[in-house]
């Protein structure tokens, strides 16, 4: 038995909106054997744009039953039947959410007439209910009202059955099928083509723009998990409606996937990635010689064409490090901009530049010795291929694949084989942690 459902609501996601009207047609595979429809009082005001679309006003639902009052009958009609709707995940998410609030746990199979129509009536420019009905000669009475749209969906469902739909339905309802939980616009082949390997995956919208980037040890399993549970929150419901395509990049291991994901998020700034997107102000420690011959140390925002002695994301981190250098090597606070009061006579140093600069150079050399330069090698996806991640002077320099049969000795030569990437704290800490746990995979320079 099929329960063909349509609802009208106060908004686009179940968590903060109510149902204003519901229609249910119980179909036995040949005809409708039971029919239920009712206006419902959502307990919240109906927005003006919803009234303009559906014609359902606040005065119309003032004396209508609440969903709580109608819930027992709605649940009895839907339980043990296949839940059918045009864009089923929308209707199902609302009905399931509001039934659960009333103490009813709806767990039934779902069938989407949009996805089913794509398989049977191929080549249409759109599979919205209005477009399908125009192309198939189905008249919709009371458009954007629950019972009017539900009756049109019943006629559409009959036409689908008449054109060999039962075979497709049986396949779509199998437990192994993804048809009942996939986002509306996402083809099942997009999931089938994903590897069960470590990697980074990209969700794309109708125009091919990246809207979300993720990483996983098993890409296929992780992507499936995005779609296999019902979440009634606004962000998730809107997010799922935007997904049209999925692309991916296979990685050597989880570390490679973590690093690539972080780099790609910073590069593409996807709309639905919330972590790792906070802009971090980047700073660098620089040295230069002033017009009196003193080598000066200064912390400043990162310069595009100037290589810093050391990079860090937090200004405080740099000030603490510079203060330690000043104290350890007896440097002048004003020549290092730790004291920004104007110079007075004799403030620079009791030493002439040639003597003072020796201590500055010793401080810089000491810093450089503390900043490691090393490569991490991991087996690549292909034979005789290694993934190489390079840390230079404490910062992530880049990564790429190298020939596993060749030894790595020269840093300059290695850098020619790798692709440079932007450094950030997350990447750097991930690599340091992995290197500490896997010292045999580290090559120091």
Kindly report, residue by residue over 330-356, the tens digit of the pLDDT: 999 999 999 988 877 766 556 899 999
Residues 2-172, CATH architecture = 2-Layer Sandwich (3.30)
The pLDDT tens digits of the residues spanning 37-54 come to 999 999 999 999 999 999
How would you classify the pairing of strands 2-9 and 82-85? parallel
Which ranges constitute the DSSP H helices of 216-287?
Answer: 219-227, 234-242, 254-268
Site of tokens 């103490």: 103
For the segment 293-298, the average pLDDT, to the nearest whole number, is: 95
CA distances from 8 to 49, 146, 262, 315 (A): 13, 6, 41, 53
Per DSSP, the three-state class of 312 is strand
Residues 285/299, Cβ–Cβ less than 8 Å: yes
Q: Residue 305's pLDDT is what?
A: 82
The full DSSP string for 179-217 is TTTS-TT--HHHHHTS-SSSEEEEEE-TTS-EEEEEEES
Cα separation, 141 vs 49, in Å, equals 21
The pLDDT tens digits of the residues spanning 72-95 come to 999 999 999 999 999 999 999 999
- Residue range 188-268 in CATH 1.10.620.20: no
Q: Residue 181's pLDDT is what?
A: 78
For helices 113-120 and 165-172, give the axis angle rounded to 10 degrees.
130
Site of tokens 């039962």: 166
Nearest to 73 by CA among 29, 31, 30, 23: 23
Residues 111/170, Cβ–Cβ less than 8 Å: no
Q: Residue 38's pLDDT is what?
A: 97
The pLDDT tens digits of the residues spanning 17-27 come to 999 999 999 99
Q: Residue 179's pLDDT is what?
A: 76
Domain with CATH 3.30.420.10 in the chain: 2-172
Mean pLDDT, rounded, of the chain: 92
Domain with CATH 3.40.1440.10 in the chain: 188-268
Model confidence at 248, pLDDT cuts 50, 70, 90, reads very high
């Amino acid at each position: 038995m099929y329960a063909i459902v349509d609802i009208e609501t106060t908004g686009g996601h179940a968590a903060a909106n109510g149902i204003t009207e519901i229609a249910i047609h119980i179909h036995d595979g040949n005809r409708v054997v039971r029919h239920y429809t009712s206006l419902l009082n959502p307990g919240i005001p109906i927005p003006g744009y919803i009234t303009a679309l559906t014609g359902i006003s606040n005065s119309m639902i003032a004396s209508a039953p609440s969903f709580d009052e109608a819930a027992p009958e709605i649940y009895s009609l839907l339980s043990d039947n296949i839940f059918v709707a045009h864009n089923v995940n929308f209707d199902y998410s609302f009905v399931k959410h509001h039934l659960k609030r009333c103490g009813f746990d709806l767990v039934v199979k779902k069938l989407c007439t949009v996805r089913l129509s794509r398989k049977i009536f191929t080549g249409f420019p759109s599979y919205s209910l209005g477009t399908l009905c125009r192309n198939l000669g189905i008249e919709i009475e009371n458009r954007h009202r629950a019972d009017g749209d539900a009756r049109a969906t019943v006629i559409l469902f009959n036409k689908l059955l008449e054109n060999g739909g039962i075979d497709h339905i049986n396949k779509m309802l199998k437990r192994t099928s993804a048809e009942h939980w996939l986002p509306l616009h996402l083809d099942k082949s997009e999931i089938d083509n994903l590897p069960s390997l470590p990697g980074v995956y990209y969700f794309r919208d109708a125009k091919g723009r990246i809207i979300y980037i993720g990483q996983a040890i098993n890409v296929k399993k992780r992507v499936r998990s995005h779609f296999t549970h019902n979440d009634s929150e606004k962000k998730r419901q809107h997010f799922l409606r935007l997904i049209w395509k999925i692309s991916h990049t296979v990685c050597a291991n989880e570390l490679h996937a973590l690093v690539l994901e972080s780099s790609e998020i910073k590069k593409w700034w996807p709309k639905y990635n919330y972590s790792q997107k906070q802009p971090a102000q980047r700073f660098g420690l620089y040295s230069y010689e002033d017009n009196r011959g003193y080598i000066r140390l200064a912390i400043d925002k990162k310069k595009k064409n100037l290589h810093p002695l050391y990079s860090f994301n937090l200004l405080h981190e740099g000030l603490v490090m510079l203060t330690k250098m000043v104290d350890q090597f007896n440097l002048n606070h004003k020549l290092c901009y730790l004291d920004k009061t104007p110079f007075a006579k004799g403030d620079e140093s009791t030493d002439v530049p040639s003597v003072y600069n020796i201590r500055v150079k010793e401080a810089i050399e000491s810093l450089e010795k503390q900043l490691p330069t090393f490569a991490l090698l991991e087996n690549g996806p292909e034979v005789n291929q290694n993934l190489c991640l390079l840390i230079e002077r404490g910062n992530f320099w880049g990564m790429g694949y190298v020939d596993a049969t060749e030894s790595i000795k020269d840093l300059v030569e290695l850098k020619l084989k790798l692709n440079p990437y932007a450094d950030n704290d997350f990447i750097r800490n991930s690599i340091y942690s992995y290197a500490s746990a896997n010292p045999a995979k580290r090559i120091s320079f």
